[in-house]
A and B are shown apart, each in its own frame.
Chain A
Amino acid sequence: MGEITLGQYYPTNSILHRLDPRVKFLGTLVYVVSLFLVRGPFGYAFCGAVLLVLIFLSKVPFLYVLRSLKPILFIMIITMAFNVFLTPGTILWRWGFLKITEEGIRMAVKMGIRLVFLVTGSSIMTLTTTPNSLTDGMESLFGFLRIFHVPVHEIAMMMSIALRFIPILTEETDKIRKAQIARGADFETGGFIKRMRAMIPLLVPLFVSAFRRANDLAMAMEARCYHGGSGRTRMKPLRYERRDVVAYAAMAAFLAICIVFSVTGL
């Protein structure tokens, strides 16, 4: 009901929550790159330790953070299985055409760790940043693309409107679905074709409603003097604070250490 927690924003007040969204976005980028830089066990241990510190700083419960791994669990198992069974090398165990190699295990563990760190790392960003301020951050970060005639403001506006209307349309879908069930519609049984056809009474009203809403919204925006991004000021402009500068410095240090790990192969 109501809110969709896109990226599962976790409302609390931590230093990570207060950071500028641009810092968090770039920070996530740096972290992801570093995961592919480091190669040895110490490198991974270092990245893991940093991750633990970040989770601690975010004040988001540890188990809540781990929940973000659930949707990729399946992909992870498949990838690891492929690596374990299909990597050629020193054979440890064999059954029929299946064989497990030392290199395979090493590869799988590496992949697994990378994937877990990558997903956990990026979910720290979405857990501590509202979708809205993330949109603002991206608009500001990618603002330079405007010189290449990329409609940065318009894209950001579209994203934030989408964020506002997703819960409304979800609720509406549920209402229309129930209304059609009350008229005897059957969304559950039958083959693929029948089910697709059964969606028409749901999709047509949904599209009609979405168009009507879009039309209304466009009119309401015009009535409030909206005329694109030029000449527009902001109520909450993004401004770097001292903590953001400190965060950038920490980020640079982290990257430097990872490069060292990468070069030494530790």
Chain B
Amino acid sequence: MSIIRASRLGFDYIKYNDESEDAEKVKAISDISFEIEKGDFIAVLGHNGSGKSTLAKHINALLVPTSGTMWIDGVNTAEEDELWKVRQKAGMVFQNPDNQIIGTVVDEDVAFGPENLGISTEDIWSRVDEALGKVGMLGFRDRSPNRLSGGQKQRVAIAGVVAMRPECIVLDEPTAMLDPNGRREVLEVIRELNKKEGVTVILITHYMEEVIFADRVFVMDSGEIALEGTPREIFSKVDELKKLRLTVPQVTELAHELRKAGVEIPEGILTIDELVDALCG
């Protein structure tokens, strides 16, 4: 059974205009259907305002669809009685690390989720230790979050979700506010969780380099999934991506340009090694 299933998902919100009294209905996402298997690494691309974040919030039941249905591990997110179950199963990490850390000490923040689940003190401790270990932040457990770097803060936020033992983690542009080193740290942690722990990952991002590791990529545009496929399939469509206000990694772009100039190399080159092999093989 798939861990996440969306069927003809739609979400409208009402926008009120200051001058005119009439409210305007805005479609944030419309008619989206997909299935995600347990253990998948899914990347979601799309320009600002394409509906990525709205979609992400549906997985965690922070938003409930206005049409269609979303199931997490077989549970309909619209069922209010199941709300906490859904949120425990599908954890969420947000863009700004400062605005999602609640505790004034690292380990107390990681404990926040488990405390809400009402488990015993001993269990909380073991979960916090385990989660901090998985993101490599055990040595910082007594620190104040304010004294950490952006990448470290975001790893604490991930640990806070991991401590709830979710089936899947949705990350909404977790690296957008980080420097390259912070980005690398966070991405490494996410990949580890996916590979070693088998956690299903849905990574929303603007950075094309982060997409290469995904099993599948969704590209969103005006509230719909415009492209879907493996990273290689997606990055073969350089011109289409540019139309969707996105780019490709430099190596892919260079390969694309060389191909256009008549050099015989395959489409959708993703890494430097691939390009070098194609040119010098």
Contacts and interface: CB of A to CB of B under 8 A. Distances in A.
Interface in B77-112: 84, 87-88, 91-92, 94, 96, 98-105, 107-108, 111-112
Find the residue from A168, A223, A232 having the highest chain B CB count within 10 A: A223
Interface in B90-139: 91-92, 94, 96, 98-105, 107-108, 111-121, 124-125, 128
B152 interface: no
Q: Would you call the interface of chain A mostly helix, strand, loop, or mixed?
A: helix
A235 B118 contact: no
Contacts of B121: 233-237
Interface string A78-117: 0000000000000000000000000000000000000000
Contacts of A195: none
A234 B125 CA distance: 10
Contacts of A220: 92, 94, 99-100, 102
A222 to B, nearest CB: 6
B144 interface: yes
Contacts of A204: none
B118 A164 contact: no
B99 A3 contact: no
Given A232-B116, A233-B124, A223 B102 contact: no
Interface in A165-220: 167-168, 212-213, 216-217, 219-220
B98 A213 contact: yes
Find the residue from B60, B116, B120, B147 having the highest chain A CB count within 10 A: B116
Nearest to B60: A223
B94 A225 contact: no
Interface size class of A (residues with CB under 8 A): 20 to 34
A2 interface: yes
A3 B147 contact: yes
A236 B128 CA distance: 12
A242 to B, nearest CB: 20
A217 B210 CA distance: 26
A71 B172 CA distance: 46
Contact of A231 (B88, B99, B118, B146): B118
A235 B124 contact: yes
Given A220-B94, A223-B91, A224-B87, A233 B120 contact: yes
B144 A3 contact: yes
A167 B60 CA distance: 30
B144 A235 contact: no
Contacts of B144: 3
A164 B104 contact: yes
Contacts of B223: none
B145 interface: yes
Contacts of A164: 101-104, 145-146
B116 A227 contact: yes
Nearest to B119: A233
Nearest to A172: B98
Given A3-B146, A216-B100, A132 B108 contact: yes
B28 to A, nearest CB: 16
A161 B109 CA distance: 11
Interface string B58-77: 00101000000000000000
A134 B49 CA distance: 43
A131 interface: yes
B6 interface: no
Contact of A225 (B100, B103, B113): B113
A213 B99 contact: yes
Interface of B: 60, 62, 84, 87-88, 91-92, 94, 96, 98-105, 107-108, 111-121, 124-125, 128, 144-147, 160-161, 164
Given A2-B147, A223-B92, A235-B115, 7 more contacts: A168-B98, A216-B94, A216-B99, A217-B99, A226-B112, A234-B115, A237-B121
Q: List the 3 closest A-B pairs by CB distance, nearest first.
A: A220-B100, A235-B111, A216-B99
8 contacts: A2-B146, A3-B144, A160-B104, A164-B145, A225-B113, A233-B115, A235-B107, A237-B121
Interface of A: 2-3, 130-132, 160-161, 163-164, 167-168, 212-213, 216-217, 219-227, 231-237
